[in-house]
Structure 1
Amino acid sequence: MAEEEPKDAHRPPSLGGHGLANVMEIFVRNVTEQHKHMEESQEKLRQATGKATSPKRQLTVVCGPQGELKELTFHDTSYREMSKVELSKLIVDTVAKARTDVGAKVKEIVAPALPGRLDFDKLQRGEFDITDLIPDGVVPDETLDRINDRMAERKRNGLV
């Protein structure tokens, strides 16, 4: 004689006292809010700039979100009396400060959207741990250990 299935064997999981329509409405609202936030963040990233002025106010530099040079403005003619080395150093140092400025702004926009354990600074330097992309509890620890071992092996062999 075949065993009978329990009465609730084909019942969908509980919705916590909420109807399916209500749960779907909440889901759609959350996805819509996340999409709107992502679009706003993308626009902020496109418009992000970093600005720096040299210590003696001879030069101002503006860099875009990728660190690209957008503007370079000399405020007087004192640069004409500088040696090539001095002028080069003035430009390079001022551009570096502008890039640091825009980098901080990009971090402010991007970091809150990163998965919990992923560190923006490590990500930017290419030093992050790939397992930080995986939410806790989704993958067994043994699997994460194998991934980490494999990545370490690739580093030792110069593949990463």
Structure 2
Amino acid sequence: IFRIKEELAALRLALRRTESELGRKRLRTLIIFKQHEDTGISVREVARLARIDRNSAMDWRNAYIEGGLSGMLAHERGGNRASVITPGQREVLQERLHDAQNGLRGFKELVAWFNEHFGTDVKYQTMNKFVKRNYGASCKGARKSHVKKDPLAVEALKKTSRLSARS
């Protein structure tokens, strides 16, 4: 059994103020430990109540024992890898994606264009995730109208089709 220094009210206040979901899960777990501090509770039971994996509950408990509340809430995962696509390339890519006259037919064509244009070797999966995450693009879909449709030709078709339908 380990002792939690913070009061239950302080933990609940920290829970309300924490924005990250991971921090909230960790604080909920600590609150469960605090509620059962006098009687004791197994890590397995805490994990069941908090709806997390048993190993996570154990890791977070050990992190609290070693570093206190700030040690438990520290987020020490990776994720700061530099993007393969540079800011200059992003601007050109965005212009290309929003160019209605030269629409791309899919991600394969986009990757081929990008690699040829910039002389890089960006993988399909990298481009797919990047474009979906940053620009909300999706795979090819039907358009309401063809981008190169001539409005004059449409009007001419409408005029001639009405005449032929009457006779």
Q: Normalised by the size of structure 1, how large is the TM-score?
A: 0.22
Structure possessing the higher relative contact order (Cα contacts under 8 Å, 6 or more residues apart): 1
- Structure number with greater Rg is 2
Higher strand share: 1
Higher helix share: 2
Q: Normalised by the size of structure 2, how large is the TM-score?
A: 0.21
